[in-house]
A = this chain, B = another copy of it.
């Protein structure tokens, strides 16, 4: 097993293509071409295109779900929450990309999810906005979330795919500044 198994190679290729072209904008043929095989070969490893997406999202989605579960029971500070969001985004930029870029893929994912993605976002914003939020607090919370995503993606581009500690600190600082009135 010096060469990584084909299944993993497919996931790697799909991750990159989905991030660049979106889920709907990427065809099975695109993935097969990059893999150097035919589309039929793909179906030996995955039963469907959706299954490829599923394999890609399983881990980050689980991490996000556990993060939200922790919100209810514990006392998570905004700093911890935003930091965790930055790390999840950095770990799987494709999740972040799909989450606010491909409504069709989103709808598909939602069907097999305990919580819909919209609910997850709403819960995150609510946690950041605090109790009894007015318009301003909700705007700030949405903005902080947007910074955690967009800022991290920008930092990843600057660092050739890796998030340096200094850049991470900067993104977090900006997000917190957006949140604070």
Contacts and interface: CB of A to CB of B under 8 A. Distances in A.
B158 A151 contact: no
Contacts of A151: 139, 142-143, 146
A171 B158 contact: no
Number of copies: 2
A178 interface: yes
Given A146-B149, A147-B143, A101 B104 contact: no
A149 B166 CA distance: 25
Interface of A: 20-22, 24-25, 100-104, 125, 135-136, 138-140, 142-143, 145-147, 149-151, 153-155, 158-159, 164, 166-167, 170-171, 174-175, 177-178
A22 B103 contact: yes
Given A22-B103, A143-B178, A147-B178, 17 more contacts: A21-B104, A22-B102, A24-B25, A100-B101, A135-B167, A135-B170, A136-B166, A136-B170, A139-B174, A140-B170, A142-B153, A143-B150, A143-B154, A143-B174, A143-B175, A146-B151, A150-B150
